[in-house]
Structures are given as C-alpha cells and as structure tokens.
C-alpha cells in the first residue's frame, strides 16, 4: 500500500481497484497541495449507508446517510510547511460505496468518476476547505476539478 494512505473496510468487501483509485487521487492531491508523504497520510474508510449514518449522527447530529464524511486532524494553518518526527494521520475520510453508486447513476457518470470525486472532496475537507459560503464553495470546487482533470477523470 502507498505511503500516503491506509484503507479500512467497514462491512463492505475489499476491493483492490478502489484502493488503486484512492492512491492515484491522493498522490495527485499531495502533489498539487505540496504535502509531504514522509510526514502525513490519510486514513480512508469504505463502508455502507448504515454505518455512515451512525457516524453522521454521532459526530454531526444529522441522522441520515451521506456520501462522504471527513475528519481532519489539523487546522489548515498547521499544514503549511508541516514537519514531524513521526508519520501522522492527516485525517479520516469515510465513504459510503452505496451512495457513490447511487449518485453516479443520478449524475450520469461512472462509479469510478464519482468515487474519485468523493476522495478528492474528502481530501479538501481534511486540509481545511469547506463549501458553506459560496466563495469557499467555488474555491473548493475549482481545486477538486484541477485534480480530476489532471488525472483525466471527466464527467
């Protein structure tokens, strides 16, 4: 497994193809955002709607399934020129595979494209971006598109 991530499976079958997509996407994210994989890695948890709903309720007090949850370990400012004596987790990204499949059909593109988008979206949340305000949403979406376009992952 790549040095930028760890993958866990929570009540879904293991899938090496998904791990390859995650690795490819995160490596590009690290490159674009100038993060050093010698110091930081991402923990990605792949699961089902029931488990992500429990986490959403527990941590956000929202009792419904969602597509992706992100749990950052650092503030955005802490990541500028980040160095450590040990490798540390940048954050956790939890993805509901069933929601990814549902949304891929809804938006009319491939599962792989939607899955890659969830990884990118989760990554930008764990490094401090959000989409609450419209101007922040535009900035985050532009960064997400840069990654997907660089990887030739189109809609």
pLDDT for the residue numbered 152: 95
Spatial distance between the Cα atoms of 59 and 71, rounded to a whole number of angstroms: 9
Which residues neighbour 127 within 8 Å (Cβ) at sequence distance 6 or greater?
A: 33, 35, 72, 74, 76, 79, 90, 91
CATH number, domain containing residue 97: 3.40.390.30
Which residues neighbour 98 within 8 Å (Cβ) at sequence distance 6 or greater?
A: 48, 49
Domain contains 155: no
Domain contains 23: yes
Domain contains 135: yes
Domain contains 101: yes
Domain contains 79: yes
Domain contains 59: yes
Burial degree of 108 (CB within 10 A; 0-12, 13-18, 19+): exposed
pLDDT for the residue numbered 95: 98
Which residue range forms the structural domain that includes residue 107?
Answer: 5-150
Strand-pair category, 5-9 with 88-96: unpaired
Domain contains 53: yes
Q: Could you give the number of structural domains in the chain?
A: 1
Do residues 64 and 54 make contact, with C-beta atoms less than 8 angstroms apart?
Answer: no
pLDDT for the residue numbered 151: 97
Which residues neighbour 99 within 8 Å (Cβ) at sequence distance 6 or greater?
A: 49, 52, 65, 66, 67
pLDDT tens for each residue of the chain, 155 residues long = 468 899 999 999 999 999 999 999 999 999 999 998 888 999 999 999 999 999 999 999 999 999 999 999 999 999 988 888 889 999 999 999 999 999 999 999 999 999 999 999 999 999 999 988 889 899 999 999 999 999 999 87
Domain contains 51: yes
pLDDT for the residue numbered 2: 64
């Amino acid at each position: 497994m790549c040095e930028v991530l760890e993958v866990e499976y929570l009540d879904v079958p293991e899938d090496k193809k998904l791990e390859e997509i995650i690795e490819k996407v995160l490596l590009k994210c690290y490159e674009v955002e100038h993060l050093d994989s010698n110091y930081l890695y991402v923990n990605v948890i792949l699961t089902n709607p029931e488990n992500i709903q429990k986490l959403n309720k527990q941590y956000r007090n929202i009792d419904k399934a969602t597509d992706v949850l992100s749990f950052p370990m650092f503030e955005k400012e802490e990541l500028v020129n980040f160095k450590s004596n040990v490798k540390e987790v940048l954050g956790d990204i939890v993805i509901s595979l069933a929601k990814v499949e549902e949304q891929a059909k809804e938006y009319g593109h491939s599962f792989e494209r939607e899955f890659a988008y969830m990884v990118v979206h989760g990554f930008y949340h764990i490094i401090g971006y959000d989409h609450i305000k419209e101007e922040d949403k535009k900035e985050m979406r532009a960064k997400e598109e840069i990654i997907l376009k660089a990887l030739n992952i189109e809609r």
